[in-house]
Amino acid sequence: MSASGCFSGPKNSVRATTILSLADRPDCAKFVVDWLHREWGIDVDEISSLIQASDERPGAILAVEDDHPMGVLAYKRYHANFQLRPELWINAVYVLPDFRRNGVGRKLVIAGSMPRYVGDPKEIFVYTDVPALYLSCGWKLVVSDATTGMHTLRFPIVSR
């Protein structure tokens, strides 16, 4: 079964979205690998490693509706030139096309910025061409590059 072939709901049908760790749904890993490979052409082995938790970063999180995966958020550690050490970054946010523009990406970004999923870093970063999504979730702009259209944003992690 293809990753998109397991969905029966019509577009704009998002009801109750649950966010959970990919570790709680290891059966979804093959779908996530397929999604990210098709969307960005990333090597399958690299994606498989990226979505799993490691000493360096948390594992990916999923958006799920009615037991079907709809989207994913994955992390990486990266040392940007303005940072003293490698920091936690969101590396990928992907939502299946039929579920876009329904708040699924926003739910992933909000949940993916919580200590429950990221642990105890003081802040988290993202490099993106869709800053409005992150700004709407309370992220702050660090720098924009007019040449590339890319933006770096940060979010302070607050323990609750």
Task: Give residue 85's domain range.
Answer: 16-121
Residue 102 placed within a domain: yes
DSSP string, 52-92: S--SSSPPPEEEEETTEEEEEEEEEEE--TT-SS-EEEEEE
Residue 143 placed within a domain: no
Mean pLDDT by 10 residues, the chain (160 residues): 40 70 93 92 88 89 92 91 85 94 94 88 93 95 94 84
Dist CA 31 CA 29 (whole Å): 5
The pLDDT of residue 55: 85
Residue 53 placed within a domain: yes
The pLDDT of residue 49: 87
Residue 84 placed within a domain: yes
User: pTM (2 decimals)?
Assistant: 0.85
Residue 42 placed within a domain: yes
Residue 89 near residue 77, CB atoms below 8 Å: yes
Residue 87 near residue 79, CB atoms below 8 Å: yes
Residue 68 placed within a domain: yes
CATH code where residue 36 lies: 3.40.630.30
Residue 94 placed within a domain: yes
The domain total for the chain is 1
The pLDDT of residue 159: 61
How are strands ordered across the β-sheet holding 68-78? 17-21, 61-65, 68-78, 87-95, 123-128, 150-156, 140-145
Residue 133 placed within a domain: no
